[in-house]
Amino acid sequence: MTTSPVPSALGADQARSRLHELTVIDVRTPGEYASGHLPGALNIPLDQVRRALPDIGRAAERGDVLVVCASGARSANACKLLAEQGIPAATLTGGTGAWAAAGHDLHRPAAGGARVTWGMERQVRFTAGTLVLLGLALGLLVHPAFQLISAALAGGLVYSALTDTCGMGALLGKLPHNRPRTADLDTALAALRGR
């Protein structure tokens, strides 16, 4: 592993100054990654990190690893998983949102072959809002019991906020447009091995 311990978190400016020496792993969905990522970041979605453990471990032996997501929550989970395997990694505090807010550029691939998908937070907001409206409409037009859909969703959102987890995000992440193509994941793993 690295000779100096990697800090558990780096701010956007700290990460920017060290970007040339870091192996950056973006654990967001492929669509989120395509919408803008740190220059040089490799896309290994959170649910694929276990598959990439040997390659991430070898990268950590050669230098520091920075794990990135949209806000820092998923990357913190990935860092926990890596730490359990003895692989030191840091998370980007505030994620790509903080990176962009600090005025740093995000790499956006040309639209030609890239899939453009809404970010996970936007997908969750859209789905939650649609389900609330559907529950209210069905409750008014069909039967009042349909309003339980809206109530259940509200409870889920409160639980999500209290636990800093997102069950709906996990479900939406399994949809085909949010899944990595095998070739894309293999390409990212090959690039990781080559670093």
**Active site amino acids:** 69
Q: Is 164 left (phi over 0), alpha (psi -120 to 50) or beta?
A: left
**Residues contacting residue 153 through CB under 8 Å, at least 6 positions apart:** 128, 131, 132, 135
10 Å CB burial of residue 43 (0-12, 13-18, 19+) is buried
Cα gap 57→46, rounded to integer Å: 16
Q: Is residue 41 classed as helix, strand or coil in its secondary structure?
A: coil
| Residue 119 main-chain phi, psi, to 5 deg | -65, 155
From the CB of residue 128, how many other CB atoms can be counted at a distance below 10 Å?
17
